[in-house]
Every structure is written in structure tokens, then in C-alpha cells.
């Protein structure tokens, strides 16, 4: 790459510009590889540090002088050297896996690591599948709600509760309705009583501005 000579009459800004033009740093960003995070080290150069997704040290990666070895059936095989443990693993067609690196000496186990990871992934998938996220559903009413609409909203709230969600029931007062907030309170009490078999009143009716709200939570399964 050709560079221009910096003359004595060149301004400091021009000198800095030419020097910086020769020190182009690579654009590593986060695009080096799919399972790596690239960081800048402002000392001498740019470096890319790989963050391994593997949570255990395996086989030749284990470099401790001595380890406590456990068989694949859970049998204690005593304290042996890493070389002997790796030899035993190879003879049995298994992997040597460090399961407790903080112990002194570290604890390693013989296992089929590929099968272990597959079963672990399967369990995590099942746990996510069965996990239920509790949501807060809201039911809104007016003080002058008719019986039909009240029953419809009540049915919706009962459905939410049976699904394991919390329910916020609120009454909105408009204009002169603010002078008769007791009507809204009675309405909320009736609503809570109608849901009494499947829900507990988590928070009693409370007036905030023009809204009066209460919270219902599903009863724990016996």
C-alpha cells in the first residue's frame, strides 16, 4: 500500500489523518462466527474470544493431574490420574466428563455424553412446553351494565380463572356517576361472589380516579 510522505509543513491534523489511514482495524463486530462474541481489547490489537456453549470439560480437555472418578452406574472408582481415567473411558466406549470442577480433586464421571445432552435437551423442551405463564386479564364494566352483559363478562372471567390467570375487574364512572360510587362497589362484590368457587379476592375494590378495580386470583388446586 502506497503512503504519502508527511512533510514538515503539514498540519498536525493532516499528520494524524495519514497515520490513522494506515492503522485500519478489522470490522469484527459480532459476525466472526455463530457461537462467538467478539470484543475489542484496547491494548495492542483486536482479538476474538470464543465463548463455548459446552458446559462440561470432556475427555482430552481435562488436564488435572488427579481426579475423583465415578462410573456410569454411580460407583466410586477412587482418585486416579486423568490419563488412567481417560484410558478407562476409552475401554468402556464412554466419555470422561468433569461434573464438579470446584471439588478437590475435581469429580469426573464416565457417561455417554451425547445421550446425556439429548435427554437433557428433551427434558428442557418438555418443561417449557408444560410451563404456564400467568397473565392478568381485565374485565371492564359500567355501573349501569345490564344483566345479559354482566353474565357474559362473568363467564369470560370464569374462563380466565380456570386457565390459571388472574383477573382485574374494573368499573368506569362517567360524569354524575361519580356521585354514586357505591353502585360500582356493590357490582364488584356481586361479581366476586359469583366467582367465589374458583377464585379468591386478591385485592379488594379500590377507587382510583374514575376507575374502581379489584383483583381475583384462581384458587390453588387441591
- In this prediction, residue 221 carries a pLDDT of 65
The CATH number of 28-119 is 3.10.20.80
Residue spans in the chain of domains classed CATH 3.10.20.80: 28-119
- Mean pLDDT by groups of 10 residues along the chain of 222 residues: 46 43 43 41 38 66 89 89 90 90 90 89 81 80 92 92 91 91 92 90 90 90 61
CB atoms within 10 A of CB 66: 14
Q: Indicate if the alpha-carbon torsion angle 182, 187, 188, 189 is positive or negative.
A: positive
Residue 129: predicted pLDDT: 73
The H-or-E segment that residue 116 falls in is helix 113-130
Architecture of the domain defined by 136-218: 2-Layer Sandwich (3.30)
DSSP sequence for 169-194: EEEE--GGGGGGHHHHHHHHHHHHHH
Distant-in-sequence, close-in-space partners of 83: CB < 8 Å, separation ≥ 6: none
Q: Are strands 199-208 and 107-111 parallel, antiparallel or unpaired?
A: unpaired
Whole-number pLDDT of residue 132: 63
Among 178, 166, 167, residue whose Cα is nearest residue 207? 178
**All CATH 3.30.110.10 domain ranges in the chain, comma separated:** 136-218
Determine the pLDDT at residue 104.
Answer: 87
- Look at residue 196 in the predicted model and tell me its pLDDT: 87
Residue 222: the pLDDT is: 57
Whole-angstrom distance, CA of residue 87 vs CA of residue 110: 11
Amino acid at each position: 500500500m502506497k503512503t504519502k510522505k508527511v512533510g514538515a509543513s503539514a498540519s498536525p491534523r493532516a499528520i494524524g489523518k495519514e497515520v490513522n489511514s494506515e492503522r485500519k482495524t478489522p470490522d469484527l463486530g459480532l459476525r466472526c462466527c455463530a457461537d462467538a462474541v467478539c470484543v475489542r481489547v484496547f491494548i495492542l490489537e483486536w482479538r476474538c474470544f470464543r465463548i463455548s456453549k459446552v458446559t462440561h470439560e470432556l475427555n482430552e480437555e481435562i488436564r488435572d493431574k488427579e481426579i475423583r472418578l465415578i462410573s456410569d452406574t454411580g460407583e466410586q472408582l477412587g482418585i486416579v490420574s486423568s490419563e488412567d481415567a481417560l484410558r478407562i473411558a476409552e475401554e468402556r466406549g464412554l466419555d470422561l466428563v468433569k461434573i464438579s470442577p470446584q471439588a478437590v480433586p475435581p469429580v469426573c464421571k464416565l457417561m455417554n455424553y451425547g445421550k446425556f445432552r439429548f435427554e437433557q435437551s428433551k427434558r428442557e423442551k418438555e418443561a417449557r412446553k408444560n410451563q404456564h405463564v400467568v397473565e392478568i386479564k381485565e374485565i371492564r364494566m359500567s355501573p349501569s351494565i345490564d344483566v345479559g352483559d354482566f353474565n357474559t363478562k362473568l363467564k369470560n372471567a370464569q374462563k380466565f380463572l380456570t386457565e390459571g390467570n388472574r383477573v382485574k375487574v374494573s368499573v368506569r364512572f362517567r360524569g354524575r356517576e361519580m356521585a354514586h360510587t357505591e353502585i360500582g362497589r356493590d357490582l364488584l362484590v356481586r361479581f366476586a361472589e359469583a366467582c367465589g368457587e374458583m377464585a379468591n379476592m386478591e385485592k379488594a375494590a379500590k377507587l382510583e380516579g374514575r376507575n374502581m378495580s379489584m383483583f381475583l386470583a384462581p384458587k390453588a388446586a387441591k
